[in-house]
Amino acid sequence: MPRNAVTIRARDPAVLRIALLALATALVAALALGLGSGGWDWQLVVTLRAPRVAAAAGVGSLLALAGLGLQVLLRNPLADPYVLGHSGGASVGALVALLMGVQLWMGAAAGALLAGLALLWLARPALAVADDASPRLILLGAMLAAILGSIATLLLALVPDERLRGAIFWM
């Protein structure tokens, strides 16, 4: 088997059971957080808290799957959206959208997409030559993330005072 091959090992079912129990406990704790002396108000739990807890669990799961997908694709445990520059691109895109008065989610999505395309364009020579270009891709992504972080800081300095709170919220 090649040295860099990814292998799948059988996991202990007890560890999976403990993780699922911890997740269920965290979900119940999130539902019960901030309950007053009156106890459970089921209408409040069903209409307000349960959808938010379900959305948070779903988004967290999808973010974990995205990180796992990057790590498996690049065969490098360091690969994640922050290191590869996607998060920095989304921040810069959201700040540019805020300055231009465009929808923030459109700016964030466009910024993340452009950061990914810039990373691929920068890494194109390394991907064409090397057998395993994953370390070079990670280093280029870290460089891109640092550059995008400095651009985001510059944009925060340029944001008008009345929009600064919204800009910091997106960071």
pLDDT tens-digit series, residues 28-52: 888 777 666 666 677 777 788 888 8
Shared domain check, 166 and 114: yes
| Calpha distance 100→119 (Å, rounded) | 25
Q: Which long-range contacts (CB under 8 A, 24 or more apart) does 158-167 make?
A: 158/99, 159/95, 159/98, 159/99, 163/98, 163/99, 166/98, 166/104, 167/95, 167/98
Sign of CA dihedral 148, 171, 85, 138: positive
Cα-based angle 145, 117, 137 (whole degrees, multiple of 5): 55
Same domain, 94 and 40: no
DSSP state of 159: S
pLDDT tens sequence across 79-118: 888 899 999 999 999 999 988 888 888 999 999 999 999 9
Instruction: Tell me, yes or no, whether 81 lies in a domain.
Output: no
At 73 the pLDDT is 86
pTM for this predicted structure: 0.70
Predicted local distance difference test score (pLDDT) of residue 29: 84
Tokens, residue 119:
């990373």
Helix ranges (H only) for 33-133 are 42-44, 50-74, 86-100, 104-129
Domain assignment of residue 132, given as a range: 86-170
How far apart (Å, rounded) are the C-alpha atoms in residues 165 and 40?
A: 34
Question: Is the pLDDT higher at 42 or at 7?
Answer: 42
**Inside any domain, residue 53:** yes
How does the average pLDDT of the chain come out, rounded? 84
Tell me, yes or no, whether 94 and 62 share the same domain.
Answer: no
Lookup: tokens for 24:
């269920």
Are both 104 and 63 inside the same structural domain?
Answer: no
* Domain presence at residue 8: no
The answer to whether residues 67 and 108 belong to one domain is no
| Assigned domain for 50 exists | yes
69 and 91 co-located in one domain: no
Domain C-terminal end among 74, 95, 114: 74
Residue 159 and residue 101 share a domain = yes
- Answer whether residue 117 is part of any domain: yes
In this prediction, residue 10 carries a pLDDT of: 54
Instruction: Count the domains in the chain.
Output: 2
